[in-house]
Structures are given as C-alpha cells and as structure tokens.
Amino acid sequence: MPVPDDRKKKPKTTAEAKIPGAYEGETVTRRRFMTGSAHTAGAIATTAFTLPALGMAFGPVFETEEPRWEGVGKTSDFPDDTYIPRTLTVSRGIGEVGKTTVYVRKYSDKDTEVRDEYNAYVAVSTRCMHLGCPVRYVEASERFICPCHGGVYDFEGKVSGGPPVRPLDRFYTRVRDGVVEIGPRYSLNSELKRFSPRDPGQPIDGVGQFMYPARPTIRKLPGT
Amino acid sequence: MAKLPTTSGLRPPAKRRESEEDTTAAPAEKKKGKLQESGIATVDWLDERTSLSAGARWMMFRKIPKGTNWFYTLGSATMFAFLSQTVTGVFLAMYYDPSATRAYESVRYLTNEVFLGEFVRGMHKWGSTVMVILIFLHMARTFFFGAYKYPRELNWVIGVVLLILTLMMSFTGYLLPFDQRSYWATTVGVAINGTGPLVGPYLSDFLRAGPEFGVTTLSRFYAIHMLLLPGIIAALIGAHLYLVARLGTTAPPWIRADTGPELREDKA
C-alpha cells in the first residue's frame, strides 16, 4: 500500500514551514524543544531522588560481612553422642533478639558429613528448614523437633519427617587454644554436601540450588 | 418542598433567592435566617473559587439502580475501617518506638500507662481484622452481583490490588508489637516470601534488610506499614471511588430490565 501523499508534503525544517525567525536547517520548533527540555529536566530531577532512595532500600541486600568466630566453650565440654546447647549472636545491635541457640557436639564415627578442618565439632543451627521456627533437640528420641508444623530431624539433622525441605543448617567450627569457636552458617543438601547459606523453605537438591540462588555476597568458605 | 439550609451550589439555581423575600418572619426566625445566610455565604465564597459543590454533587447525588440494598454499603464500610485504622494509627505512632530494643517496652507503656491507650490500640488491632473481613465481603458482593463485568473490570483490578495492599498492611503491622508471637510470625512470613523461585531469596533479604533479622528490620517494616502502604492505599481508594462515581453501580442480578409502558414512552 503506497504511503499517502500528504506525508511527503510535511515540511522537514522550520524554514520550510515558514515559521517566523526560523534558522537555516532547524528541524525542531522552539516550542517543541522547550517542552522536551522541561520534560527531560523533570525526569532527571525525579530520577535523582528516586534512585538513591531505592539504593538505600536495596543496599543491605548486597552488603558483605567478614566471617566472625565466637567461642562457645572448651573442647572438653562437648561429647560426641549428644548435643550441648549454646547461645550465639547472629545479629549484633538488637540485644536478645539477635541471639540464637546452636547445638554443638564432637564429630563422631557415625557422621556422614565429609570430615575436614571446619567440623571437628558439629554445630547444628536451630532454624527449622521448613519456615524458620526454632527446633529443639529431644535427647530421648535423638531427634530435632519443630513446634510449629511438626518437622522432625534425626541425630545428624537430616529430615526424618514433616514438611522441612532440607537438613538443618550448620555452622563452621574451629578450635583455637582449646576453645571451640563457631563461625559462619552454611546449608546442606540431603546428602550433607555443603552449599552457600540459603533461607528456610528453599530446597537445594537438584534444580533447587539454581531456583534459589545464594546471596552474591555471602558464600560458603572457599575450599569447602 | 421544605426549605433546607443547603448552599446554593447544592440547590437548583432557580430557587436560590426564595427565602430572602420573606419579610414577615418573626425576629428569632430572622436571626436564624441570618446565621444560615452567613454559613451559605462562606460556602459560596469557597465554591466560587473552587467549584467544589459541582464535584460534591457529582459524587453524592448519583442515580442508583432499582434494587440497591444494604450489601452496597460494604465498600463504604471497608473505607471507614481504613479511616479508623488511619486515625488510630497516627496516634499510636506518637507513642511507638520502632527500635528492636525498645519497641516492646513502648507498646507496653502505651497499652498499660497511656490514657485510653489500650482502647485505641485495641481498635487498631481488631479493626485490622474487621477491615480484612469487610474487604472480602465487599469482594464477594461484587463477584456474586456480577459487578466486575464490563465496563468495571479496571475497578475490580484496583480492588484486588487494594486487597493485596491490605494484607501487606496486616503482615507488616503484625511485627510491630515485637513480642514472641510477632517475631516468629514474621520469621515464618519472611521465609514464605523466600520460597518464591528465583526472586524469593532477594525478596526476603529486602524485607529483612539483610540475611538475618537485624537492626533495621523493625524500622523497615514500620516505614512500610505507616508511610508507604497507606499512601498507596489512599491514592487507590481515590481512583476506586472515582470509577464508582463515573461508571455508576450495577443493579442486583435479580432485577430485570423494566419494560413498563412509561419507560418505553420515555425512550420515544
């Protein structure tokens, strides 16, 4: 279909349109130019306060923190057949709210997590891997039990019942001057293979590790 | 017709000067009339400069279909629940301290020590539940009466957004008393947000302002609860009401189109 003729008649420059005071080769009328500049100035001004404000809101997501190690007791305090509860500060500056319970024991022959320099002592997080309620270790049944929705984990923290999607998280541990120190958190898949820490409710078996990406700034320790 | 003390803008223009001609009235009535006149003059002054009365007439004196009943008030009821939440919320904010170490104490103080504090907080707490219930009833009315159909689809969409925003209000407000129930409910709620594939982990980090529940989590929830969401809700309620007034309301489904002889005559 041919282009209608009147399109061709449209003047290309202000001089052709016979606008008073037109410059040679001027293609945009001054009215149009001023309107455009005013809109652009408005857009720049809006962006100038919106972007920094959004940056402030989203900044903490990408903040990185040096791994902290916190002593929880002498090596002789922890047997290898049961857990000893200890308090750990995971979030500083908010008093009691920032503390969490961690269950500590010595690595035993029955453990299936690969033994290395960071798990001579096993520190199991009490954060339920269903939705984050606090689990409790019940010595009589050698199980971790969650009060919220009935998640049950075995002695190693593997899921033995209920809705949790993966074994209980653990913390890196190390021994310095006869004191057991607890470091950053890491997550485990159902074969107790280490992964960068994920939030509760996020499975990391199979495709899960790609569906639920870890934070770019908080990874498992290099070489583990 | 009885003479009501309405402003000229709300009355048909022809009847405007009617009462001034009446010189036989008793002195007491005359005084009353003067008072009325001065009130009307004030509104007239405003109206001349804003034309507000035209807007008010457009909003309030609408034609409504036959069969309109009490179910049609559920939307207004929801709006009044929102207004109640706004007013009580503003005054609760005067006593509340959104810091992790002092939030619980400030809530305890406003509940137990402040005059009427427990009552106002109670209205805010129970009012939130009432608002959610009313929204669902309003939504059910709209659905079962078929009032979401053309040309009102956009208003249904705005309503759904308002429902989601209201639930977000409930979620962010639940943390603020900062007792055990608040803390663990929020922990669970944030974890549920995190189970969304791909974006979930970033969303929960955004809500907590980091990987753990931290120093600014509470103030972040507070700011979202009392600044961000109410602003958006108020704006959307305005849009919702504008569309209601512009498009009118629907008749209930059991009302059949009237084909009486008068109507046919009217059409012709």
Cross-chain residue pair B187–A133, CB shorter than 8 Å: yes
- Mind listing the pLDDT tens digit for each residue in A32-71? 999 999 999 999 999 999 999 999 988 888 888 788 999 9
- Mind listing the pLDDT tens digit for each residue in B166-200? 999 999 999 999 999 999 999 999 999 999 999 99
Residue B6 lies in a domain: no
- From the list A156, A159, A164, the residue with the least C-alpha distance to A128 is A164
> Which residues lie below 8 Å from residue B43, measured CB to CB, with a gap of 6+?
B7, B8, B9, B53
CA angle B182, B183, B185 (to 5 degrees): 65
Cross-chain residue pair A131–B213, CB shorter than 8 Å: no
- Mind listing the pLDDT tens digit for each residue in B96-115? 999 999 999 999 999 999 99
- Residues of A in Cβ contact (< 8 Å) with B205: 60-61, 215
Give the residue from chain A lying closest to B209, CA to CA. Answer: A60
CA of A133, closest CA in chain B: separation in Å? 7
- Residues of A in Cβ contact (< 8 Å) with B101: 94-95, 97
Query: Mean pLDDT score of chain A, rounded to an integer?
Result: 91
Residue B225 lies in a domain: yes
How many A×B Cβ pairs under 8 Å?
84
- From the list A189, A201, A202, A194, the residue with the least C-alpha distance to A222 is A194
The predicted pLDDT at position B148 comes to: 96
Phi, psi dihedral angles at B112 (to 5 degrees): -95, -30
Residue B142 lies in a domain: yes
Facing B188 at nearest CB: one of A97, A131, A211 = A131
- Mind listing the pLDDT tens digit for each residue in B219-262? 999 999 999 999 999 999 999 999 999 999 999 999 887 666 66
Quick one: tokens of A200? 């509760």
As a whole number of angstroms, the distance between CA A29 and CA A34 comes to 9
- Residues of B in Cβ contact (< 8 Å) with A134: 184
Cross-chain residue pair A213–B210, CB shorter than 8 Å: no
- Mind listing the pLDDT tens digit for each residue in A123-135? 999 999 999 999 9
Residue B184's CATH number: 1.20.810.10
Cross-chain residue pair B191–A132, CB shorter than 8 Å: yes
CA of B107, closest CA in chain A: separation in Å? 16
From start to end of chain A, where are the E strands? 70-74, 84-89, 99-106, 121-125, 136-138, 143-145, 152-153, 159-161, 170-176, 179-188, 194-195
Facing A200 at nearest CB: one of B191, B202, B206 = B191
Give the residue from chain B lying closest to A208, CA to CA. Answer: B197
Cross-chain residue pair B188–A97, CB shorter than 8 Å: no
The predicted pLDDT at position A65 comes to: 79
The predicted pLDDT at position B32 comes to: 79
**Dihedral sign, CA of B20, B21, B23, B25?**
negative
Residue-range domain boundaries for chain A: 8-63, 70-211
Phi, psi dihedral angles at B113 (to 5 degrees): -105, -35
Cross-chain residue pair A131–B100, CB shorter than 8 Å: no
Taking only Cα atoms into account, the Rg of chain A, rounded to an integer number of angstroms, comes to 31
- Residues of A in Cβ contact (< 8 Å) with B190: 132, 199
Q: Is B200 on the interface with A (CB under 8 A)?
A: yes
Which residue has better confidence, A52 or B4?
A52
Q: Is B58 exposed, middle or buried (0-12, 13-18, 19+ CB in 10 A)?
A: exposed
The predicted pLDDT at position B1 comes to: 46
- Residues of B in Cβ contact (< 8 Å) with A214: 201
Confidence of residue B4 (pLDDT cuts 50, 70, 90): low
The predicted pLDDT at position B179 comes to: 94
- From the list A52, A102, A40, A109, the residue with the least C-alpha distance to A80 is A109
pTM: 0.85
The predicted pLDDT at position B76 comes to: 96
Residue B173 lies in a domain: yes
Q: What is the mean pLDDT of residues A152-167?
A: 96
Quick one: tokens of B49? 């400069």
- Mind listing the pLDDT tens digit for each residue in A71-124? 999 999 999 999 999 999 988 888 888 999 999 999 999 899 999 999 999 999
- From the list A39, A173, A195, A19, the residue with the least C-alpha distance to A103 is A173
Q: Structural domain of residue B134, as residue ranges?
A: 72-247
Domain total in chain B:
1
Confidence of residue A20 (pLDDT cuts 50, 70, 90): confident
CA of B226, closest CA in chain A: separation in Å? 16
Q: Options 3.20.20.370, 2.40.50.220, 2.102.10.10, 3.30.70.141; which CATH number does A70-211 get?
A: 2.102.10.10
- Residues of A in Cβ contact (< 8 Å) with B211: 197, 215, 218
The predicted pLDDT at position A85 comes to: 96
CB atoms within 10 A of CB A95: 13
As a whole number of angstroms, the distance between CA A168 and CA A124 comes to 7
> What ipTM describes this predicted complex?
0.86
Facing A131 at nearest CB: one of B191, B205, B211 = B191
Give the residue from chain A lying closest to B186, CA to CA. Answer: A132
The predicted pLDDT at position A25 comes to: 83
User: Could you give the C-alpha distances from B195 to A203, A211, B41, in angstroms and in order?
Assistant: 9, 9, 62
Q: Is the pLDDT of residue B215 over 90?
A: no
- Mind listing the pLDDT tens digit for each residue in B117-166? 999 999 999 999 999 999 999 999 999 999 999 999 999 999 999 999 99
- Mind listing the pLDDT tens digit for each residue in B16-45? 454 455 555 567 777 778 888 999 999 999
CA of A27, closest CA in chain B: separation in Å? 41
Q: What is the DSSP string of A108-120?
A: -TT--SPP-TT-S
